[in-house]
Amino acid sequence: MKSQLTYIDLFAGAGGLSEGFIREGFQPVAHVEMDQEACDTLKTRLAYHYLLRNNNSQTYNSYLKNSISRKTLWEQIPDSLIESVINAEISKKTINNIFLKIDSLTDKNKIDLIIGGPPCQAYSLVGRNRDPNGMKGDKRNFLFRYYAEFLKRYQPKYFVFENVLGLLTAGEKRYLIEMIQLFESVGYSVAEPTIINAEEYGVLQKRRRVIIIGRKGKRKFNFPELNKTPNHWQIQKDLFYDLPKLKPGEEIHISKYTKPINEYLKSTEIRNGIDFVTQHIARPHNQRDLEIYSIAIDKWVNRHIRLKYSDLPANLQTHNNKEAFLDRFKVVNPDGHAHTLVAHIAKDGHYYIYPDLKQIRSISVREAARIQSFPDDYYFEGGRTAAFKQIGNAVPPLMAVALAKKINEYLKNN
């Protein structure tokens, strides 16, 4: 029997990119992530995949239903899987220790692929605008140098580097230029950086990302043509339609679906076998925010007009700045696809208002996860705020599947 293709996931977050590669048959050797709660999510998801392969998914479902503890769940899987999630910031001080941990898990010469992308704040346009120094001097600008150290040590056949669009222009392109030159200097042919849109792979969200793919060796390498998916589905009619109604602050940790599975949820495996939904949790809102949400929903749903902050009644305005960020309250489009989901949703829900006057609130944890195309049995550890942060930072699994399919083809053909 041919061994599975293996990979290391750097800056792994909650595992959205990894989920796509696991679905396509890749075997994770290690995930490296600095956030403790995201690491706990990764361990829980590894438990899911292990139990599923061993025909014991009922144990995982028992955990989702709170019938067993997380400790009991993790005890059902090999220690090596738990240890493969390395909770560490990748830095000059830590990298050698990370190498030793990964080396203890596998033969360092048998890594087929390295995936992942460093935190995006240093490259994002929003991050640069918010930072008084425009992110100059931020150490996250240069995390790609550590990525190259992993390439040097493990010599994978391919790598997949993911980041925000701002990478293409940050530092007047100096980071991108240095990055590509560095990857080439350690032995890789690098395809032209390419922007891919999550909408083209079944995700109901306008989310564009830069993908850089490299192949071992000097022979010229072009970015692969990914298999796109027709995407005529809608948020309200197809993605949210079977979830229970929520009030602000209401938390439905376990609930039955309100309607049968539809074609979209089945084909994308968002509903993938269990007969209940988890983490349908809404944040509470004060009366002022609820009044603003009502106005925003009415304008968008009934008139297709976005609310401008400066147009609010004076008694609802608390910010003196009425020239910038006028769209700080935004309703998710019910009849099309959502705007880009970001980690700021962990701080407030103003930019992700539920599109229905019968449910005046921001979207729930499960709704955010669905917008990112996570399956309903994907459990985010750490509570509501941590879950929102992990989801907002994630790579949509359906987009990751498209990348994994193509890399899988390349590796098998070569």
Output the pLDDT for position 138: 45
Q: Do domains 6-227+397-413 and 235-392 have the same CATH topology?
A: no
Instruction: Kindly report each contact of residues 164-168 with a partner whose C-beta sits within 8 Å and lies 24 or more positions away, as own/partner.
Output: 164/120, 164/123, 164/124, 164/209, 164/210, 165/125, 165/195, 165/208, 165/209, 165/210, 166/120, 166/123, 166/124, 166/125, 166/127, 166/128, 167/120, 167/123, 167/193, 167/210, 168/193, 168/195, 168/210
CA-to-CA separations, 124 to 10, 102, 114, 176, 352, in angstroms, rounded? 19, 30, 23, 13, 20
158-163 and 208-216 strand pairing: antiparallel
CATH value of 6-227+397-413 in 3.40.50.150, 3.20.20.70, 3.30.70.100, 1.20.5.510: 3.40.50.150
Pairwise CA distance, residues 229 & 210, whole Å: 19
Output the pLDDT for position 411: 87
Output the pLDDT for position 131: 43
Least Cα distance to 240 among 367, 387, 368 occurs for 367
Global pTM value: 0.93
Identify the H or E element spanning 53.
Answer: helix 36-53
Output the pLDDT for position 134: 44
Assess contact for 312 and 327: CB atoms under 8 A. Answer: no
Q: Phi, psi at residue 59, to the nearest 5°?
A: -65, -45
Identify the H or E element spanning 190.
Answer: strand 188-190
Pairwise CA distance, residues 264 & 262, whole Å: 6
Report which residue type is found at 336.
Answer: G
Q: Phi, psi at residue 375, to the nearest 5°?
A: -65, 155
Q: Which residues are catalytic?
A: 120
CATH top class, domain 235-392: alpha beta
Q: What is the pLDDT along the chain (414 residues), one digit of tens a residue?
A: 357 899 999 999 999 999 999 999 999 999 999 999 999 999 999 999 999 999 999 999 999 999 999 999 999 999 999 999 999 999 999 999 999 999 999 877 789 999 999 885 555 454 434 445 444 444 556 899 999 999 999 999 999 999 999 899 887 888 899 999 999 999 999 999 999 999 999 999 999 999 999 999 999 989 989 999 999 999 999 999 999 999 999 999 999 999 999 999 999 999 998 999 999 999 999 999 999 999 999 999 999 999 998 889 989 988 766 666 678 899 999 999 999 999 999 999 999 999 999 999 999 999 999 999 999 999 999 999 999 999 999 999 999 999 999 999 988 886
Output the pLDDT for position 15: 98
Domain boundaries, given as residue ranges, for the chain: 6-227+397-413, 235-392
